[in-house]
Structure 1
Amino acid sequence: MTYRTSGRDTFQTSGIDAWLTAANADAVVNAMAAKGLMPATIDCRFDRTVPGQVAYASKFTWQRAPANTRYHWEVGDPTYLASKEVKSNRVGLHRIAAKIVRDPATGRKVGCSIWTN
């Protein structure tokens, strides 16, 4: 995975418009973590490449991970994210980025969040 600076010590993956699916997002996040980077922002949307199924896609910008930093990210419906918010707060993480998107065709919502210490 290549990356380039995009200002203020944040980075973006090689494809600016590269949306990650559930199948490849973990691999990308792990590859960036190996380079000492963590997610700085997250964007999410419904993924229409899987007909008949509710699927999500996400996109990240990156920042250098300070020493001893823990973080967690999730993508899902707002109720699911609310439960993850409670669990993250219990272990000392706070939200640093979040977004909720509504699908105009179905009215469904998807959200995405990043929590860190």
Structure 2
Amino acid sequence: MMRIYKILSQAEWAGAQAAGRFEGSAVDLADGYIHFSTAAQAQETAAKHFAGQSDLVVLEIEADDLAGADLRWEPSRGGALFPHLYEPLDVGLVREARPAPLDAAGLPRLGALS
């Protein structure tokens, strides 16, 4: 089993909860898929794309729960394989949603990821 992670704003998460599904943030919609990271990739993703942004949430999803969904592992950032979901995420599949407050350097703290 492998957990994958999505970093998004609290407002985006609240909207997804109200709708029952997450369609994607602006960059996801522009790229045509929802960007996820593995535990090993998430902190670099946070630093590269979310530095200085407050009111963030990190979602934890079990990749196996997306069986039958259009989840693809594709090369990005130096050829590493990243999980990309080519359909909306059912919010019922989110195992945990927790705040990702900024540390003293302005980087989101994602907590312990496995």
Pairwise same-fold verdict (TM > 0.5): no
Structure whose CA Rg is larger: 1
Higher helix share: 2
Task: Give TM-score scaled by structure 2 length.
Answer: 0.31
Task: Give TM-score scaled by structure 1 length.
Answer: 0.30
Higher strand share: 1
